Amino acid sequence: MAFKFEKLEVWNNAIDFSANIHEVTRSFPQEELYILTSQMKRAADSIALNIAEGSTGQTNPAFRQFLSYAVRSGIELVSCLYIAVKRKLIDEVQFRDLYDEAEQLIKKIQALRNAIH
C-alpha cells in the first residue's frame, strides 16, 4: 500500500459502504437514474474520496476539513435514505441497515477528526 489512506480503517469502511449503496441503487427504477440514484452514489463515493484526498500531503487542519466534508456527505446520504424509503425504493429493513452503517461510519470519521490536532 503506497498511500496513507489505504491503511485507514475508516476509508476501507467507506469503500465498503459505497459498494453497498451501489448495489441497493441498482434496483431503483430508470426514472431515478439521474435523480436519487446518482445523488446517493455521489454522496457515498464522496465520503471515501474526501478521506483519501485529505489524508495525503495535507496539513492536519486541512485533513480535519476534508473529514468534515466526508461527514457532510454521510449526512446527505442519510437524508437520501429517508427519501428512498418514502418513495418506496427501499424497504424499512434496507433503510435501517444502511442507516446504521452510515451512522457508524460517520461516528468513526468524527472520532478520527477529533483525534487529529
pLDDT tens readout for residues 76-116: 999 999 999 999 999 999 999 999 999 999 999 999 999 99
CA distance 42 to 72: 12
18 neighbors 44 (Cβ within 8 angstroms): yes
Domain that holds residue 77: 29-115
What per-residue confidence (pLDDT) applies to 58?
79
Q: Residue 1: pLDDT band by 50, 70, 90 thresholds?
A: low
Mean pLDDT of all residues belonging to the chain: 97
Which three cell numbers, joined as nine digits, stand for 55? 489524508
Handedness of CA 10, 75, 85, 93 (dihedral sign): positive
Q: Is residue 15 part of a domain?
A: no
Q: Is residue 12 part of a domain?
A: no
Q: What's the CATH code of the domain at 108?
A: 1.20.1440.60
DSSP state string for 19-70: HHHHHHHTTS-GGGIIIIIHHHHHHHHHHHHHHHHHHSS--HHHHHHHHHHH
pLDDT tens readout for residues 54-80: 998 779 999 999 999 999 999 999 999
Q: Is residue 99 part of a domain?
A: yes
Q: Is residue 80 part of a domain?
A: yes
The pTM (predicted TM-score) of the whole model is 0.95
74 neighbors 102 (Cβ within 8 angstroms): yes
Q: Is residue 2 part of a domain?
A: no
Residue with cell 435501517: 96
Q: Is residue 94 part of a domain?
A: yes
Q: Is residue 1 part of a domain?
A: no
Q: Is residue 73 part of a domain?
A: yes
Q: Residue 51: pLDDT band by 50, 70, 90 thresholds?
A: very high
* Number of domains comprising the chain: 1
**Residues of the chain by 3-state class (helix, strand, coil), percent to 5:** 85, 0, 15
* pLDDT at 13 exceeding the cut of 90: yes
